[in-house]
Structure 1
Amino acid sequence: MTLRIRRRRFGQIAIATAATTALSGFAQRAFAQRGGPILYGVTLDSTGENLIIQALNLATGNILPINIQRRIEPGERISAFTAISGRFAIATGPRMALPGRRLGRRSRIISSTTEEIPEPQGLDNDAAFESLLNTNDNNLLSIISLNQGTPPFRFANVDRRSGRVNFLSDVDLLPNRRYSNLCQSPRGTTYGTSLGPDTGPVLVQFDFANRSIITGKARILPIAPLSYNKNLLVNDVADLALSPSNQLFALADPTYEGTNSLFIVNTQTGEMTFLRKFAVQKITFTR
């Protein structure tokens, strides 16, 4: 397969939509008079079961909560989030198993509309989608953990019609590192993070276009360690997202406040600049 992938709270408008609504278009129309790019985040309501999507207008700070009438089950966690063809895909993974207890539900991908995504085919019980990316050429690319969110990790494509998970052999992820947070620019550059046992998260580029001359495989290019207030991060960010104008955003809680915040990321130095609180678990832009 060829991949061209180079607690101040603003006023909220409570609007419930039918599950068949094209969510990206809905929020775009709602914010049309205010302008500014819209960043989407996914989280859970107070019950810890019902999924909610938050549409954040980056120009005005206004947030539009959207009830998508989807839920997760006990034993599941939100593990990835991406926009596909006027809707969203939310991946879940099994929570870590306690001694003597079985894992919860197997990993799956939930559609934000009634157009369901089939159950994954080809995943072991402990495997989980740790990142999802709908690429510029409309492939659903994923990084998958093979053992409950811990290394080793592998790249895979997911067939949205059959649910078949096809692991890719043309990129090697180091067996002792955690890889996640895929995002892609309009120009085709694909970023993510890499986290090792003795290092904090590093911003990396997955280069599928300029492959290794020796192996013919895609290259993983380290860019810079992620930092905030001149301090290197210890834990990984919750997610990365690239805006239509090629601005990289990170969702993280580097000061351990218990609530995620949104940061602008310098793609040359890895330095993160605080933008605002954003109490969601994953983020994405629509195309």
Structure 2
Amino acid sequence: MTATNSAPHRPPRHPLPHRVAPAGPASFGDHLRTWRQQRHLSQLELANEADISTRHVSFMETGRTNPSRDMVLRLCERLAIPLRERNALLVAAGYAPMYRERTLDDPALAAARKAVELVLKGHEPCPAIALDRCWNVVATNRAALALLSAHVSPELLAPPINVFRLSLHPKGLAPRIANLAQWRAHLFERLRQQIQATADPTLIALQAELQEYPALEESPPLVLAGEMLGVVMPFCFDSLHGMLSLISTTTIFGTPVDVTLQELAVESFFPADDFTANALRELAQLPNTGG
């Protein structure tokens, strides 16, 4: 890959996968009950959290009381409901959505888009990827693009490109991940936590798909040297240029008023040893390189 001043690679724009709504809650009361149970709270516990009576909670769940807009927002805050789902509760209660949802290409998000591009470009020669809420790739830097395109089947690079699918599919990176069992368990735990927080049916469907992938030969856990063990999750990747040992961090572009930015994340990978650091620097000097 070549180190240039050009903007990070942005995959072709594409619609998100069609989100099939389950035969789930329709009324505000149904929504509220579902989220309360999702958070493992009793009516009494939610009432105490929201500083209202248990009877009020019960009446809202059964539809005997219509909540005010402020009450909807208060309950959403106490239940830690994501912005996208807060809009759904507002609509179910008869109010207009409060939180905007725009694509990252929207002119109003130009500053945010520029910030993402700077983060990705500034992380080179190390790989970095911007992701949406479903772990689909929104943008990458050149280092990440080179690694992905060199090691996975072209069919997995058709948009929407999903990083969980890329990691665990037999035609993806899975055969080259030295600590696959460890990495797979890490990804599934992250997905489980996100489903617990959002109850997103698209993520639930993704989880089911990943669980159906044929099992590959199990790999032993990777032990990092020094004090890294137990602090970060290693990603050991058998690239065409040798064994690359990486660790990752996630950056969240949160905002209380915009759905798109709340759901945007940047996954940045760092070298875990000197060989990987040197290899990434050398690869950055090669034109049109693949990892």
Length-normalised TM-score, structure 1: 0.28
Higher-Rg structure is 2
Higher helix share: 2
Length-normalised TM-score, structure 2: 0.28
Higher strand share: 1
